[in-house]
Amino acid sequence: MPEADALDVSTLTSSTYTGLMSDYLITGDRERVETALDRLAILVDEWIAACSGRPAERSLPGPGVTSAEAAG
């Protein structure tokens, strides 16, 4: 991944993670925040895979499907 893209992705990921942790502390909705965090991790994996020319190991589940449901 080019350095400029890596900086953008790391900034976006860090900011999103911070927002999710704030959301959890404010709402206490752990399941929703964990699902969003799982989706964030999958998106980052997909971005890195796309830049490296290899397939992503995981892909996002459909709307309304939790990552745990998709894995099980």
Share of the chain above pLDDT 70, in %: 75
- Least confident interval from 3-12, 19-28, 59-68: 59-68
Tokens representing 72 are 């099980």
Cut 0.85: pTM above it: no
Distance CA(47)–CA(7), nearest Å, equals 13
Residue 2, pLDDT score: 80
42 touches 68 (CB < 8 A): no
Distance CA(69)–CA(72), nearest Å, equals 5
Mean pLDDT of 37-44: 91
pLDDT greater at residue 65 or residue 5:
5
Residue recorded with tokens 């965090």: 37
